[in-house]
Structure 1
Amino acid sequence: MTLSENDIRAVRARAQLLDAPAADVLAVTRSVAAIQAQSSPAARLAVRVRSRGLTTSDVDASRAVARTWLMRKTLHLVPAADLRWLNRLFGPRNAQAGQGRRRQLDLTDELCEQALNHLQDLLPGKALTRQEILDGLAGNGIALDAKSQAPAHLLAYAANRGLLCRGPDDGTEPTYVLLYEWITEDDTPDDPHGELARRYLTAYGIATAEDFGAWSGLPLGVCRKAFDALELTPTSNGFALRETDLSASSCPPRLLGAFDTYLLGYRDRDLLLDPAEAKRVNSGGGMIAPTVLVDGRIAGVWYTKRTAKQTKVVIEPFAALTRTAITGLESEVDDYGRFLGEPAVLVS
């Protein structure tokens, strides 16, 4: 089926819930397959823009979702019932891929195994911060430099091995919990690769196996096989699930947070982002700036300036915005302030 670029963007935006917000945190996370969550504030904003009436505390308090290192060795927020099977899918691969870096940090296989044994004694019934974990390990003869990358890589390794996952944030500090205590559900599918591909296409609307590989980090051969097992409709720029409605109207203006999944799901982002503006969004080092979405296309970047009285949301558009787009973004800023519980005003 031949679709225009505007049609493709509309289908993708709808798949991402950017035109029809969900009612709760789980519904958002389930619909978009996974939310990149190495930045907790950014993950909260990913939920805000795809939901209706939620607040930051709603996101933080939800036990229906959980965080661990999954796709591309990066922290993701996923439905709690999916964390175990996703961890079995990505954990061994991530642990193997990180072995060289662990050795550079003097995290030998022997030391890691000793640390994991001690973590099983430290964590039962608790949610500990990184520093509390380091103090506990030091008390057992395993001293790690808190200013180095060794603690982060050790905790990621423990998560990849299925021992722990992220727990609730303690203020701005994340905590870690035993996975088997925190996650009691396990909805393991018969075909994990096929199920992940199905969820990916549900979340990203129209895409290719190469896009799936870029998003997941899985080998291209695995991704193609998973796509081949699905009932797909060929379209412009890729494939859609057979049941996907390929008619959609353009979504309203949106404020996307940093690392938003709308951009991270495709190997080629040219349809969503003008290549001439790409460096303003991705300046390097894996950073993806908060962006302005107009008619399904990235139309600018934004940031905040906080004062004692209010938060200013400063928009830097790539080109002049229409009055309709500005009005829509004013509504977005109002909702952003409501979500955070602080007054917010648009500055452009």
Structure 2
Amino acid sequence: MLGATLAGGGRLTRAECLAALRAAGLDTDGQRGYHLLWYASHRGITCIAPHVGTEQTFVLLDEWAPGQHSPERDEALAMLAHRYVRGHGPVTRHELARWSGLTVTDATRAVTLAGDLLAPVEVDGEPAVVDAALLDAPRAPVDDVHTLPGFDEYLLGFKVRSLMLDPAHAAAVVPGNNGMFRSTVVRGGRVAGTWTRTIGARAVNVTVHQLVPFDAALRTRVDAALTGYARFLGLGLRHSW
């Protein structure tokens, strides 16, 4: 029904979609409307388009992204393995299984099917894989600085986080080990601190907690990253160390 309503380049807000469902005789009370919209997107009928103001909008997937390719299972497994490893590697097949919801058997098969796109490596004595293209990339020291949000994929994408986070600092990033991650300062791929923020009317107030000592140069770079965040919010920046 939503497909017919949106056909021909139509675009509706969430409220308009719910109104269309009700006009077709469907009950949208409670959570029914939300689940009907989810189901339409899950089945590949609709997809989310850019907001109109603060309102979410929906369009037809086939019109918004025509010419889609629907891979067979083995092709899909290989594609998933390659894309995950390219974004997260080096990783083990167990990390792929955990992240994707695949069984370890299917994750192992996925890595095998990816073939030469992935290359075997060893990390802390455990076999892992990386994107093979990285082996030919220029090797230069990594010293970038990022101020990441609490639920960033950089940490959440893994069960074993020792490459990015010193185990001694784990409790500072996930207090109580309850799944609630603090925002992090990452330098050269390693978590160097955490940060918290309170958004006010005119400024965002940020407090940085150092997990390793920050020299003057690192403070300047963290300042620059947080200034960019404040600019994104359209606010001034106040912070303390």
Whether TM-score is above 0.5 comes out as yes
Is 1:171 paired with 2:53? yes
Q: How does 1:234-273 map to 2 (within 5 A)?
A: 234-236=121-123, 237=126, 238-245=128-135, 247-273=139-165
CA contact (8 A) 1:252 1:328 kept: no
Cα offsets for 1:118-165 (capped at 9, x unmatched): 2123333333232222222122221222xx443333222211211111
Q: Which residue of 2 aligns with 1:120?
A: 3
Q: Secondary structure, in 3 states, of the residue corresponding to 1:169?
A: strand
CA contact (8 A) 2:171 2:177 kept: no
Q: Which runs of 4+ in 1 moved over 6 A?
A: none
Distance of 2:35 and 2:182 partners within structure 1: 25
Q: How does 1:1-348 map to 2 (within 5 A)?
A: 118-124=1-7, 125-145=9-29, 148-186=30-68, 191-229=75-113, 230-231=115-116, 232-236=119-123, 237=126, 238-245=128-135, 247-273=139-165, 274=167, 275-280=170-175, 283-284=178-179, 288-318=181-211, 320-348=213-241
Q: Secondary structure, in 3 states, of the residue corresponding to 1:244?
A: helix
Unpaired runs of 5+ in structure 2?
A: none
The letter for the 2-side match of 1:234 is V
Please, what TM-score do these two structures have when normalized by structure 1? 0.57
Offset of 1:211 from its aligned partner? Answer: 1.1
More strand by share: 2
CA RMSD after TM alignment: 2.7
Distance of 1:262 and 1:321 partners within structure 2: 21
Cα offsets for 1:290-335 (capped at 9, x unmatched): 3221332223333333334333333234455333322211111122
Please, what TM-score do these two structures have when normalized by structure 2? 0.79
Aligned-residue sequence identity (percent) comes to: 32
CA contact (8 A) 1:334 1:345 kept: no
Distance of 2:56 and 2:211 partners within structure 1: 35
- Count, aligned residues: 227
Cα offsets for 1:11-40 (capped at 9, x unmatched): xxxxxxxxxxxxxxxxxxxxxxxxxxxxxx
Distance of 2:61 and 2:90 partners within structure 1: 34
Offset of 1:243 from its aligned partner? Answer: 3.1
Distance 1:163 1:139, change over 3 A: same
Distance of 2:109 and 2:177 partners within structure 1: 31
CA contact (8 A) 1:194 1:226 kept: yes
Offset of 1:338 from its aligned partner? Answer: 3.7
Offset of 1:177 from its aligned partner? Answer: 1.5
Distance of 2:226 and 2:87 partners within structure 1: 25
Unpaired runs of 5+ in structure 1?
A: 1-117
Greater RCO structure (CA 8 Å; 6+ sep)? 1
Distance 1:123 1:314, change over 3 A: farther
